[in-house]
Amino acid sequence: MAKKTPKKEPKLDKTKFPDAYIAGAGTVVEESITDTLEKNYMPYAMSVIVSRAFPEIDGFKPSHRKILYTMYKMGLLTGARTKSANIVGQTMKLNPHGDQAIYETMVRLARGNETLLHPYVDSKGNFGKAYSRDMSFAASRYTEAKLAPICAELFGDIDKDTVDFVPNYDNEMMEPTLLPAAFPSILVNSNVGIGVSMASSVCSFNLEEICNTAIALMKNPEHNAIETLKGPDFAGGGLMLYDEELLDQVYRTGRGSIKLRAKYEYDKKSNSLVITEIPATTTVEAIVEKVIQCVKDGKLREVSYIRDDTDLNGLTITIDLKKGTDPEKVMQKLFRLTPLQDSYACNFNILVHGYPRVMGVYEILDEWIKFRVECVRRRTLFDLNKKKEKLHLLEGLEKILLDIDRAVKIVRETEEEAEVVPNLMIGFGIDEVQAEYVAEIKLRHLNREYILKRTKDIEELKKDIAELEEIAGSDKKIKTVIIGELREIIKKYGQPRRTEFFYASDIAEEVEIDDTPDFNCSIFLTDSGYFKKILPNSLRMASEQKVKEGDFISQQRETVNRSDLLFFTTGANCYKTKVSAFTETKASAMGDYIPAKLSFDEGEEVVAMANTTDYSGYMIFVYAGGKVAKVPLSAYETKTNRKKLTGALSLKDKIVAAIQITDNCEIMLRSSNNRALIFDTALLLPKTTKSTIGVQVMSLKGKAEIINAKTIDPETAEGLKRFRCKAVPSTGSPAKELPDPDQLTL
């Protein structure tokens, strides 16, 4: 049989396929994961932080700035509105993202969305609502927009070299790196962003208050901002807890949590609470859903109905109350249980010179003042250069005034056009720029009257130039200019506060009352982990308890509906709930499967159940090795409603039994080598650590272990007194003649 020769790979012609021969192509190189992350992930993380998520000192993220600048270049500051789709399309020249992302950004800048205290976009059409999750905005082809009048303060100086410009992503046009905002827009409108490993959350402040604070700090760097800046002012209004200490912390550090409340009215005719303003951190739908859930859970029994009545007139949530309820107390309860009272977490993380910095109000205003001073200086130098250029031209024109006929003669007698300017320069002793200006004057303007009108501005120009030079060389004079501009902005755009205050004295010290209905009931736990809650009358009518095949009732207790339930598991966890969390059932029902109901960890099984109303008494944990732990039940009491406590018992040995006792009693232990021991729990000292394995109570030989533990009543214990021990540990006594332990009296 002929031997097959392996096929050779076809060789590529290097001249025809030069790209197929890249140096190092196909080579596998080992590289540290940290090096890979540094090379690939770090640039992405920095791009998100610097170019996407965080606002800069002018108050805008790149996406905001690109949209507003595009609208400015489209002439939408003074012109009529245009379709939003047109704006989005033009913005794509600067913003290399999808049209929907650009439009959503524009929506949040619009007046109709009600996100900003001072909207930058004057909108027409459905732009959705910031306070509603479900009220979505219309498509860009249906809405119209233009720049709001306040944008004149953002772009007023942009054509005077006040800020740097850079090429856009395809080098086709230029865009500004910052906008020369004439007011501290960074603090006037809210801004929230999430970057990589850091976030930013800047709340809004009243325009008049923030401008007055900036003015005061320029005049006196030691000014106390609380005197002029009363606190955040949100577009949605509402109420804010006035706490000077907290506000001072936010103003100095840029971090702090501000408590907000909804504003409401009580309508006596309909016996209902009418919510008209809500915290900026929540939505109408979230409030309605939470109130409904609280009503279902029995926490708001005073509420009969809730509806969202929001319409074209604004936000309205109506909560109907049952007769005889106190609206003020219900409102305090709503504040405690629902997002009608919420907190705004301040995190003033702002990009300054390309670096993220968490700054307080003082530091932000200081950086903005530096930024604005530089903008005004650059604007002043721009105006100064323009005036100097004009003065230079007029000074040349003034020299022509001395002998107009001579100028005309020079031009007329010059044979070549290219020689006109040099001849004028020689004839009147002027430079090339001045000569060019004179040479371009129309023939009709070569009269004494025209030239006198133009040259009489020379003295005024010299005066303006001296003034501008003085301003450009003095930070103090520049700040005076800025102060004047801020006062004008206050007159034009200032508006009353929307967010009002409430005080600590307005917060009712209400003790939370458990209004869960209370009644007697019996609870049952089966060996497999099924639980039943049965009312006394239903229990009396029952013939027998229904359980799964092979299962049996392992615990039975008489209790009340308000008591707490504790389930101890083989995973050393304690799952806490309440008896009221279970519905009443009948003896003929299987009941609730506890591992599923309480979401046990995989493989966990119920060891025992305990119930209590005051967490008095003890838990006795008996382990196979003969050790017993006595832990106060109060160790499992928590101030918060924690559902799962870890380390509730020891994992060092197999748990045999977990017994709840209200006071010291006697317990019988049975071992696998047919020995028994009765001991009094008073012999054991309570342990403060829940995961303790306890002390040795029964000494075991060989491979013997504890197989059963039961409490026994004094009468039974007296009949079995030969098994009693006076001290522990003890080996116990032979117990072959004892009946099955499950038949002993419990």
Instruction: List alpha helices for 235-326, DSSP H.
Output: 244-253, 284-296
Indicate which residue of 142, 169, 305, 503 is catalytic: 142
Q: Give 347's strand partners.
A: 201, 255
CA angle 212, 153, 481 (to 5 degrees): 55
Instruction: Indicate whether this model's pTM tops 0.95.
Output: no
Beta strands in 391-519 (DSSP E): 500-502
Q: What is the pLDDT of residues 100-121, one digit of tens each?
A: 999 999 999 999 999 999 999 9
User: Residue 91: its pLDDT value, please?
Assistant: 94
Only one residue has tokens 């997002």, namely 339
Q: What is the mean pLDDT of residues 213-228?
A: 95
- Of 318-327, 363-372, 437-446, 553-562, where does mean pLDDT reach its minimum? 437-446
Q: What is the pLDDT of residues 290-331, one digit of tens each?
A: 999 999 888 888 999 999 998 888 899 999 999 888 999 999
d(CA 240, CA 506): 12
C-alpha dist (Å) from residue 141 to 71, 97, 137, 144: 16, 18, 11, 8
pLDDT band at 61 (very low <50, low <70, confident <90, very high): very high
Share of the chain above pLDDT 90, in %: 50
CA 466 to chain centre: 52
Q: What is the mean pLDDT of residues 694-712?
A: 89
pLDDT band at 240 (very low <50, low <70, confident <90, very high): very high
Q: What is the pLDDT of residues 497-513, one digit of tens each?
A: 999 998 887 776 555 55
599 Rama sector, left if φ>0, alpha if ψ -120 to 50, beta otherwise: left
User: Residue 191: its pLDDT value, please?
Assistant: 92
d(CA 245, CA 251): 10
| Residues contacting 444, CB < 8 A, separation 6+ | none
Question: Residue 440: pLDDT above 50?
Answer: yes
pLDDT band at 703 (very low <50, low <70, confident <90, very high): confident
| Residue 729, preceding peptide bond in cis (omega within 30° of 0) | yes
Residue 402 is which amino acid?
L
Annotation says 142 is catalytic? yes
Asked if residues 518 and 408 have their Cβ atoms less than 8 Å apart, the reply is no
Single out the residue of 599, 593, 560, 605 nearest to residue 578, CA to CA: 560
Q: Compute the mean pLDDT over every residue in the chain, rounded to the nearest whole number.
A: 88
* DSSP designation for 563: -
User: Residue 1: its pLDDT value, please?
Assistant: 47
**Structural fold of domain 520-743:** Neuraminidase (2.120.10)
Question: Residue 745: pLDDT above 50?
Answer: no
d(CA 84, CA 115): 18
Q: Give 201's strand partners.
A: 192, 347
**Structural fold of domain 60-180:** Topoisomerase II; domain 5 (3.90.199)
Count CB atoms within 10 A of the CB of residue 665: 17
User: Residue 690: its pLDDT value, please?
Assistant: 87
Residue ranges of domains in the chain: 60-180, 263-339, 373-493, 520-743
Single out the residue of 670, 678, 698, 574 nearest to residue 631, CA to CA: 574
- Maximum alpha-carbon separation in the chain: 147
Residue 185: phi and psi, rounded to 5, are: -60, -25
**Torsion angle of alpha carbons 722, 727, 729, 732, nearest 10°?**
0
Only one residue has tokens 């025209």, namely 450
**Structural fold of domain 373-493:** Topoisomerase; domain 3 (1.10.268)
Task: Name the residue with higher pLDDT: 440 or 482.
Answer: 482
Question: Residue 8: pLDDT above 70?
Answer: no
Q: What is the pLDDT of residues 130-186, one digit of tens each?
A: 999 888 999 999 999 999 999 999 998 899 999 999 999 888 999 999 999 999 999
Q: What is the mean pLDDT of residues 569-597?
A: 89
CATH 3.90.180.10: does it fit domain 263-339?
no
* DSSP designation for 516: -
Count CB atoms within 10 A of the CB of residue 449: 8
Residue 274 is which amino acid?
V
